[in-house]
Amino acid sequence: MKNFLQIATGVQTAPLLLELQRQPELWDRNSARLTKNGPHHETHDIWLRYKDETENKKKGDYSNFSDPHDGVWYPAYYALQTAKPLIFNLMAAVQGERLGGVLLYKIPPGRKIHPHTDTGWHVDYYDKFNIYLQADAKTAFCYATGEEIRAKSGDVYYFVNNVEHEVINKGDDDHIVLTVCIRIDKGGKSCLSG
């Protein structure tokens, strides 16, 4: 596998799924990724950590939103307390040195993330990990290279997103993923460097 690596299975996801079920109002509070012509317009998001958007909201301009920054916790992080151990246990497991963006995304049945290639500072600086909270073999994370991830609930994958990819949910349930961006010390050893 050139663009992804499974690094864990059997992660306990039920507590976070229960918190999400009890707080549906957390979805789509931040709409920057969900623009009508963007690749994520068929999905739903909950942002837990990223750049402080106060100034961007005030100016109505998000053109510098992905510039280098230190992330801040968004209110949803404090509402979803069971996300904390998932995030920080993963960070410890991969010997992360800096935490970047953290978000949840949900793809309803019959919907997809359209083909796209992510670019920018955040993409280049951080390594990306998906913790699959609710997933089955009917949903595929597909690369233009022909590779694909067909995860199960509780799986954790390292993946690259600067290669064209899409995610298609042909299943009967929502596909729900916690994406965690972590800077790994490239000079040292980690679970990804062998």
Contact 87, 16 (CB under 8 A): no
Q: Minimal CA–CA distance to 125: which of 104, 97, 148, 103?
A: 97
Mean pLDDT of 58-63: 88
pLDDT in tens, 127-184: 999 999 999 999 999 999 999 999 999 999 999 999 999 999 999 999 999 999 999 9
Quickly count helices (H) and strands (E) in the chain: 5, 11
Residue 134 counted as domain residue: yes
What's the predicted TM-score (pTM) here? 0.93
CATH number of the domain where residue 179 is located: 2.60.120.330
Name the helix (H) or strand (E) containing 83: helix 83-93
- Cβ-Cβ contacts under 8 Å for 115 (sequence gap 6 or more): 39, 144, 164, 165, 166
| pLDDT of the residue at 63 | 86
Residue 64 counted as domain residue: no
| pLDDT of the residue at 194 | 44
Distance CA 177, CA 96 (A): 20
Residue 142 counted as domain residue: yes
Residue 189 counted as domain residue: no
For 40, 41, 42, 186, the CA distances from 37, given in Å and listed in that order, are 8, 7, 10, 36
Residue 18 counted as domain residue: yes
Q: Determine what percent of the chain is predicted with pLDDT higher than 70.
A: 95
